[in-house]
Amino acid sequence: MLQTRDSTRHLDGLRIIAAGAVVILHYSDYLKDHSAGRFVFEHTLHFNLFVDLFFVVSGFVIASQYIGKVESFPAIFRFLGRRLARIYPLHLATLMFYLAIALAFYLGFAKTDNPARYPLSDVPAQLFLLHAVDGQRLTFNFPSWSLSAEMFCYLLFPLVALATKRRRMLVVALVILPALANSIYVAAAGTEPWAEWINNGGIFRALPGFNLGVACYLLRDQIARWPVSSRAFTLSLLAFTLFGWLLPEMVALVAVYTIAVLAIQCDYCGATTLLTRLRFDRASAYTYSCYMLHIPIATLVLTFGARALTDLPGGKLSLLPVAIAALAMASFLSYRFFETPLRHSLNEIFDRQLPAHRSIAATSSSEGAR
């Protein structure tokens, strides 16, 4: 059965796969004391680049909803307010969770093997979503660095939309130039590849991927006409998942970008693949919840739980199914009963504070994506 041309089932399916890949990488890191955990961790290090796939998907989704609708200051403020309403409540909740742990640690009620995880000096950057600019690496709920990076892209999006309004092909330069600037800086400063930038420079890592997503939306009709078999998407995703750890980091990043573009090509040419037949897209609404909650769940189950059950056969490894089940349940509950109601309430507040703008308000019902 062919998909409709406005379907994004491949992109939606990729989102939940990417979130699952990040969970596998981080949970195997918790289990490195076991040979199985160590083996998985060593062969899934490339899964960290699935975060860059999020940036591409985010750029595509934002462009599809807001191109042509952020041309006035009230519209821009409403757009930014809606993005904050989507990402900030769960970020704040997970930050408060780790601040409670930090407080217990500093007051002597608890102990930790990693006190560097809880620097109070990093709290302002976390609160204001600046920790992908100048934050400390891997603190508190550390995957949230990507929210800071995305917020930077959201702030620039109205300029991108304005720049490409009359000259659509200019968006290609907005992909190439940030990537080129990042590469020049790496060569000149001798830093690690920019695909590894997180808390220092994560905003610049996100920009090429986000703009690539915008470009794919603007050029979607051309992409749909590419003479590429849908099998290329399936094979590239499988190959990257299984063998991406063999690739140099920047080559692996290009592979992730390619997978995202091929997914868009499949969506817009109406292809059906193994991914859509398995209906991974049905779980895509829980992507953000899963991504943001998997480390707090690991802290509760794989750290605190393992300490409390020291005589448990297999130790942390035997608690892995518990962590996965808890994550699935927490993601469902968070999305349905915390994130969604809060998002709607905050959107109503923004709408009351700003003059009515029909084209922006119309996107409210479709903003469940990350």
Within a domain: 1: no
Q: How far is CA 361 from CA 151, 238, 351, 370, in A?
A: 20, 39, 8, 18
Q: Residue 146's domain spans which residues?
A: 9-366
Query: Which pLDDT band holds residue 315 (cuts at 50, 70, 90)?
Result: confident
Within a domain: 176: yes
Q: Which of 11-25, 74-88, 148-162, 350-364 has the lowest mean pLDDT?
A: 350-364
pLDDT, position 367: 54
Within a domain: 320: yes
Within a domain: 4: no
CA-to-CA distance for 195 and 192, rounded, in angstroms?
Answer: 8
Mean pLDDT of 315-341: 95
Average pLDDT, the chain: 90
Within a domain: 291: yes
Give Cα 208 to chain centroid, integer Å.
14
CA-to-CA distance for 292 and 186, rounded, in angstroms?
Answer: 29
Is a pLDDT exceeding 50 seen at residue 355? yes
Burial class (CB in 10 A: 0-12, 13-18, 19+), 343: buried
Domain count, the chain: 1
pLDDT, position 134: 86
Burial class (CB in 10 A: 0-12, 13-18, 19+), 176: middle
CA-to-CA distance for 47 and 186, rounded, in angstroms?
Answer: 22
pLDDT, position 370: 55
Within a domain: 341: yes
Within a domain: 3: no
Within a domain: 359: yes
Mean pLDDT of 278-305: 94
Mean pLDDT of 245-266: 96
Query: Which pLDDT band holds residue 156 (cuts at 50, 70, 90)?
Result: very high
Mean pLDDT of 47-64: 96
